[in-house]
Amino acid sequence: MLRYLPLALLFAGGAAVAADPPKDQKPKYETREPHDPDGLGKFYQGREIALVMGHRAAGWLERPEREKEEAPTKLLKALALKEGMTVADVGAGSGYHAFRMAKEVGKTGRILAVDIQQEMLDLMAARKKKDKVENVELLLGTDKDPKLPAGKVDLILMVDVYHELEFPHEMGEKLVAALKPGGRLVFVEFRLEDDAVPIKLVHKMSERQVMKEMAEFKELEHKTTVKTLPWQHVIVFEKAKGGKK
């Protein structure tokens, strides 16, 4: 989720101590002090994991300036959604993208809107009722499991979310397992490569870092990176159709 440099947001969450790995196995995570005040102090493959945005800042996700700053209409077009698809919006927040995608997949498709905060799900439930939307399903995930059905999802979208996952490796395993063969895993992240993007450092990710972390999953192949959005890149992976490579 989003983090402006000048905007003070309420964060929730904290660093957790992972179980000790076998002695011959290097720990997946490490803790460091000092660390970025906007991060957990917990590091994965060299990057610090960011604090999660609290539900009380959800109104900012619906700000009218978002179209100009992030061009979500361009993002929606880049996703190339089709009638009947099953799409997961992981870290859906207020449902900003979920409800837009619901129109694209139509009555025969469905959107699985996942969040770890019940308050966010409550916001989306209210919108579902108000707008009479029937093809958005709400799922309460955990910090290690989005609770998606295995092998059933055509596309998984994470918009400014992945950098906040407290257990990215464990979540990655679940996300890959949820994809159908040929399904796509899409990361939308603020470009670390661009100093002009006015987002706090720990809430940015480089394309190279995303590629590095997804290299853990041999079923995935990088298909493309869309670089036409104002502040973000859209990094797209596809699950192998014939199983593991």
Residue pLDDT, tens place only, 70-116:
999 999 999 999 999 999 999 999 999 999 999 999 999 999 999 99
Find where tokens 């003070």 sit.
Answer: 8
pLDDT value, residue 244: 53
Rounded CA-CA distance 105/228 in Å is 23
Q: How many CB atoms lie within 10 A of CB 193?
A: 13
Rounded CA-CA distance 151/161 in Å is 22
Per-residue pLDDT band at 11 (split at 50, 70, 90)? very low
Per-residue pLDDT band at 16 (split at 50, 70, 90)? very low
Give how far Cα 102 sits from Cα of 83, 113, 135, Å. 10, 10, 6
Structure tokens at 157: 């979208």
CATH architecture classification, 65-239? 3-Layer(aba) Sandwich (3.40)
pLDDT value, residue 135: 98
pLDDT value, residue 96: 97
Per-residue pLDDT band at 60 (split at 50, 70, 90)? confident
Give how far Cα 46 sits from Cα of 29, 32, 55, 93, 112, Å. 9, 11, 28, 27, 31
- Residue 187: pLDDT above 60? yes
Indicate the DSSP class of residue 189: E
pLDDT value, residue 21: 55
Per-residue pLDDT band at 4 (split at 50, 70, 90)? very low
**Whether 165 contacts 141, CB under 8 Å:** no
CA angle 5, 230, 38 (to 5 degrees): 25
Domain boundaries, the chain: 65-239
Strands (E), 91-162: 110-115, 136-140, 153-159
| Percent of the chain at pLDDT exceeding 70 | 89
**Whether 111 contacts 136, CB under 8 Å:** yes
Calculate mean pLDDT across residues 191-210. 97
Calculate mean pLDDT across residues 214-233. 98
pLDDT value, residue 23: 62
